[in-house]
A and B are shown apart, each in its own frame.
Chain A
Amino acid sequence: MRRGARWFAALMISPTLLVLALVVIYPLLSAARESMYVRGEGLDADGFVIEGERFVGLANYAGLVGERFVNAFANTTVFTLATVALETVLGVAMALVMHGVLRGRGLVRASILIPWAVPTAISGLMWRWVFQADGVANAIIGEKILWTTEGVQAKLAVIIADTWKTAPFVGLLVLAGLQIIPTMVYEAAKVDGASAWQTFWRITLPLVKPALVVAVLFRILDALAMFDLPFVMIGRGKFSVETLSALVWDEATQLRYGPAAAYGIVLVAYIAAIVFVFVRLLGADLLADARSRKGQA
């Protein structure tokens, strides 16, 4: 490429870079800076908060070994593993149903998608009602479990509600993947006498994998940042369901912006690491497109 053309190209993408710098890079750098300061600690003789900020280096990161952070980290991980696994299985099943149904297709698709369309804060309230002491959940199982109290049951309630809410999202993306599989592949399988199970494992799943990988990736990103569902459904300050995002929120609410920023940075790093591993292991195809183009250039 000629030198002039390069500059032109750089100029053309500069608005994008500017927006990225403003909404991604600046907040990240600002959070990284904030994470090394403390503000508003201590009172003077008249009882006023001493103003100004103080550089503390990595002291705010000391909380990373604290019980509360470790608990939030574990909760986030457990919620992510459990909900994404359940949602993937249910989502694929939903996609197969939506794809296979012949009559009332619109109705089936719409009804499966409703949970995804309900705002999380609203579904949180709804599920809180379901999991109340005298709620629907206890009426169905015929036992008196106090779901919203601290304990394993609270985690389970969150996992159930989150799965209900977001399995349709996986279903939707997988459905899109299913629809581009040519029917002749299935006809060939039929001619060769493949069973339904074989067809699913050997044809449907490999061909739908690119769409599924994207869906699962999105779910992982979302689940790692989970905040509103436990907050609305079980309540703030309940350690059994406190996620990293909730911990960051709580620290910021108590005006401890330093530790909040430090935990936020760690959460970003955690998400980045998991996504990197995930893309490396499963989703090499995600970038195949870009690589092949680069090869041509």
Chain B
Amino acid sequence: MTRSFVLAGALTLALAATAACGGGEEPAAADGRGPITLTDTQSHEEASRKIIDAWNAAHPDEKVTLDIQPKDADSQRQRLINNAQTKSDAMDVIMLDAVWTAEFAANRWVDELPADMVKADELLAPTLETAKYRGKLYAMPWLTGTGLLYYRKDLVEKPPTTWAEMKETCEEVLPKQEGMSCYAGLLDKYEGLTVSFAEAVQSAGGTVVDDSGTPTLETDAAKAGLNFLVDGLKAGLIPEEGITFKEDEVKNALQSGKVLFARSWASLYGTANASDSPVAGKVDVAPIPGLNGPGSGVLGGANLAISAFSKNKATARDFLAFFTSREQTKTWATINSTPVAHTVLYDDPDLVAKYPYLPSLKEGIIKAKARPVAVKYGDVTAAIQNAVYPALTGETTPDQALSGLQQQLAGLLKQ
């Protein structure tokens, strides 16, 4: 009996093997027109749909369908990569987080865009940089953002511009406020820690990686930046549980009166001042402070690129130009509070009335810097988190953390 089983098994295996081959067709080089999709996240749905509707009304033969991504960034990236690796034409215009540009460009998953597609003078310069890889444009700058310092305006007269001022203000205010700490930021071991570390280093006048791609962490500025976080935790200016804080915990700490100052993104403004918030009307924003003057934040944001495997790239380009035009971006911004890339909209009276933080934000973005550009950004951010986190918990000294990270990043960024 055994022999027949082996035979049947071999037969089925052979069949399975044939079935498994036979993919790998070359994508048709297509600059065509026709229906396309926009792959975007759920939080943008309402605003993006409005612009799409306007486009669809005018282009009945080149309709755009909205493809909604899962909520968390890891799954979004995974889904885009799966699509690219199978060379599927299911996605045309795709939303790329600012830190994914290098990876998608270097792998040829997205097309280079003609340089004249962007009007550089209309856009915030640092934001435009996040859409480029090695000087070439791979995405349309769309959304941006950087860290803002949230503070309790009922307790603080003038927001601090330096860390020392912040400490002084806290020493004045805190004794009268029971259970309140000075400052909260994004310090859990996740992408937010990379952001916080880079911001601290930049705000002390340094950089994580210089313009030539060399890490610059064994410097006084880097040390001062890391020490701002480490000493803050040690001295209790940052609450002990601060190292478990992500965006939600920072929001809760600010809303429940546990901190006087908090660093978060622009999206917190609406939540903190909403009518159901315990601190509604008591929270204002300012650019983040630094060592010797205003600090320098890290750029967040997302851009729109065209998938290399799209069939209707001519339509995709036209739609992209329409979608990121100043008029449509303004419409988008009136529905969704995520900050946009167009400089002039930060002074737009309608938008400033709706989002009073825009002037502070603009000031912050102009001083902001992108996170290190790397094709394998995942490895870079993991290295930063793995080095900084033990320094925050006191397991390693700041000096050890920085020299170790310097070496690691040098290796990762060499290629």
Contacts and interface: CB of A to CB of B under 8 A. Distances in A.
B134 A46 contact: yes
Contacts of A255: 81, 376
A21 B16 contact: yes
Main secondary structure of the interface of B (DSSP, over half): helix
A237 B107 contact: no
A32 interface: no
B190 A21 contact: no
Contacts of A46: 134
Interface stretch (B39-47, B147-155, B236-244, B402-410): B236-244
Interface stretch (A1-9, A199-207, A273-281): A1-9
Contacts of A10: 4-5, 7-8
A150 B15 contact: no
B9 to A, nearest CB: 5
A13 B8 contact: yes
B11 interface: yes
B16 A25 contact: yes
B168 to A, nearest CB: 27
B309 interface: no
Nearest to A7: B4
A48 B105 CA distance: 7
B20 interface: yes
Contact of A235 (B1, B16, B188): B188
Contacts of B28: none
B16 A26 contact: yes
Contacts of A18: 12, 15-16
Nearest to B252: A134
B133 interface: yes
B415 interface: yes
A236 interface: yes
B12 A43 contact: no
Interface stretch (A55-63, A141-149, A170-178, A179-187): A141-149
Contact of A148 (B5, B244, B376, B378): B244
B13 interface: yes
A49 B107 contact: yes
A11 B7 CA distance: 10
Interface string B296-317: 0000000000000000000000
Nearest to A46: B134
Interface in A36-51: 40, 42-43, 46-49
Contacts of A254: 376, 378-379
Contact of B385 (A22, A48, A144, A237): A237
Contacts of A7: 4
Nearest to B17: A26
A43 B415 CA distance: 6
A14 B11 contact: yes
Contacts of A43: 106, 375, 415
Nearest to A40: B107
* From B15, B16, B249, B386, residue with most partner A Cβ within 10 Å: B16
B271 interface: no
B17 A236 contact: no
B57 interface: no
Contacts of A48: 106-108
A47 B1 contact: no
B389 interface: yes
B212 interface: no
A71 interface: no
B74 interface: yes
A239 B393 CA distance: 14
Contact of A26 (B20, B241, B390): B20
Contact of B393 (A6, A132, A149): A149
B189 interface: yes
A134 B300 CA distance: 29
Contacts of B393: 149-150
Interface in A139-172: 144, 146, 148-150
Contacts of B19: 22
Interface string A230-249: 00000111110000000000
A6 B4 contact: yes
B382 interface: yes
Interface in A249-275: 253-255
Given A48-B108, A235-B188, A253-B74, A1 B1 contact: yes
A13 B9 CA distance: 10
A236 B378 contact: no
A9 B81 contact: no
A17 interface: yes
Contacts of A6: 1, 4
A47 B17 contact: no
Interface string A117-130: 00000000000000
A144 B188 CA distance: 16
B78 interface: yes
A21 B78 contact: no
A133 interface: yes
A149 B415 contact: no
Interface string B260-281: 0000000000000000000000
A17 B8 contact: yes
24 contacts: A6-B1, A9-B4, A10-B4, A14-B11, A14-B12, A17-B9, A17-B12, A18-B16, A21-B12, A21-B15, A22-B16, A25-B13, A26-B17, A26-B20, A43-B415, A46-B134, A47-B106, A49-B375, A132-B249, A148-B244, A236-B74, A238-B189, A239-B386, A253-B74
Given A17-B5, A46-B134, A253-B74, 10 more contacts: A1-B1, A11-B8, A13-B5, A21-B13, A26-B17, A43-B106, A47-B106, A48-B108, A133-B241, A144-B241
